[in-house]
Amino acid sequence: MQTAIYLASASPRRKELLSQLGVEFSQFSVDADESQFPNEAPRDYVERLARLKAQSGVAMGYTDRPVLGSDTVVVIDDTALGKPLDQADFTATMKRLSGRTHQVMTAVAIADSEQVKSCLVVTDVTFKPLSDAEIDAYWHSGEPQDKAGGYGIQGLGGRFVSHLSGSYFAVVGLPLYETEQLLNEFLRG
Ligand SMILES: Cc1cn([C@H]2C[C@H](O)[C@@H](COP(=O)(O)OP(=O)(O)OP(=O)(O)O)O2)c(=O)[nH]c1=O
């Protein structure tokens, strides 16, 4: 693809994934308010945040190319989990995910000063039952701290996943197929 865009993200994973599409881009980070509205459904929340990130980039003055923003949350029992606040929060999350299936929701949005388009990708991820020792060791690996839901499927956390249905790349932070489709749709106007 010959298009040049902006990636409104501080995430090294998103940078790597977008590179896999062969799109030329430069990256900057936006400081969006990521709080969830009361009674906001997780799927609405994650899509709103992706759009907010893309549109914040446009508002910051990145107007000469389309701006791509994305957001990922882990959803269990209809509750959206972001990055762990501390070890206790992380441990509670892992106990909740242990031996069960949860959803990873990733939204992608592309905006310029005239339009914004977005899509949502939902992936079912099943964890094996986790022991207290595994949970403790995983926290001390340093991997969970900056990850939505407290794990990285692409890293040490991959061993917890017994089944996945959907987009692996969306779980890591940016769905490749859907992002390319969205970009093509956006460029058609
Ligand atoms: C579930 C899961 C999440 N993650 C990551 C993807 C995202 O980078 C992060 C979710 O946090 P986000 O708030 O979506 O993104 P971010 O803060 O890292 O980056 P930015 O807002 O600047 O775009 O968790 C993994 O890397 N692997 C996984 O398996």
Residue of 34, 72, 124, 164 with the most ligand 1 atoms within 8 Å of its CB, for mutation: 72
Pocket flag, ligand 1, residue 9 (CB < 6 Å) = yes
Query: What's the 38 CA to ligand 1 centre distance in angstroms?
Result: 22
CATH number for the domain harbouring residue 101: 3.90.950.10
ipTM over 0.85: yes
What 3-state DSSP class applies to 154? coil
Convert the pLDDT of each residue in 3-36 to its tens digit: 899 999 999 999 999 999 999 999 999 999 999 9
**Strand 67-76 vs strand 24-28: parallel, antiparallel, or unpaired?**
unpaired
The CA radius of gyration of the chain, in Å to the nearest whole number, is: 17
pLDDT (0 to 100) of residue 189: 84
pLDDT at position 46 over 70 = yes
Q: How far apart are CA 113 and CA 102, in angstroms?
A: 36
**Active-site position among 31, 44, 71, 146:** 71
**Spatial contact of 30 and 57, defined as CB atoms under 8 Å apart:** yes
**Is the per-residue pLDDT at 1 higher than 60?**
no
71 in catalytic set: yes
CA distance 58 to 70: 14
Query: What pLDDT score does 2 carry?
Result: 61
Structure pTM? 0.96
Average pLDDT score over residue span 29-55: 97
Residue range(s) defining the domain that contains residue 176:
4-188
Residue 31 confidence (pLDDT):
94
Q: Would the CB of 175 count as within 6 Å of ligand 1? A: no
* Total domains present in the chain: 1
Q: Could you read off the pLDDT of 80-133 as tens digits, one per residue?
A: 998 999 999 999 999 999 999 999 999 999 999 999 999 999 999 999 999 999
Q: Are 171 and 153 in contact (CB under 8 A)?
A: yes
Is ligand 1 within 6 A of the CB of residue 72?
yes
pLDDT digits (tens, 9 = 90+) for 154-166: 999 999 999 999 9
Rounded-to-integer distance, Cα 8 and Cα 88, Å: 31
